[in-house]
Amino acid sequence: MDTRDEVKIMLTSKRMTMTELALKMSELSGKNYSQSLISHKLKSDSLRYSEMKLICKILGYRIYIDFDEIRLGK
């Protein structure tokens, strides 16, 4: 599943629109986010990690990173 699908699922589960998300992101970050900008970033896979953390904070989710020890040679 890609980031775009994950964000859509999170938005749906919280009954929030992309426009509402953009407004909250603008309020919390002090940067200007619009629905079209977020959609473009998701489509082009150019969403920053800090933006994803902000989205998760707004929607009440956490990001977990789990490293596979075998892949890392341990």
In tens digits, the chain (74 residues) has pLDDT values of: 899 999 999 999 999 999 999 999 999 999 999 999 999 999 999 999 999 999 999 999 999 888 776 665 65
Question: 53: which residues sit within 8 A by CB, 6+ positions away?
Answer: 63
| pLDDT for res 52 | 97
| pLDDT for res 65 | 85
| pLDDT for res 68 | 72
Please state, in angstroms and as integers, the Cα–Cα distance from residue 35 to each residue in 26, 63, 64, following that order. 11, 22, 26
pTM: 0.85
CA distance 59 to 49: 15
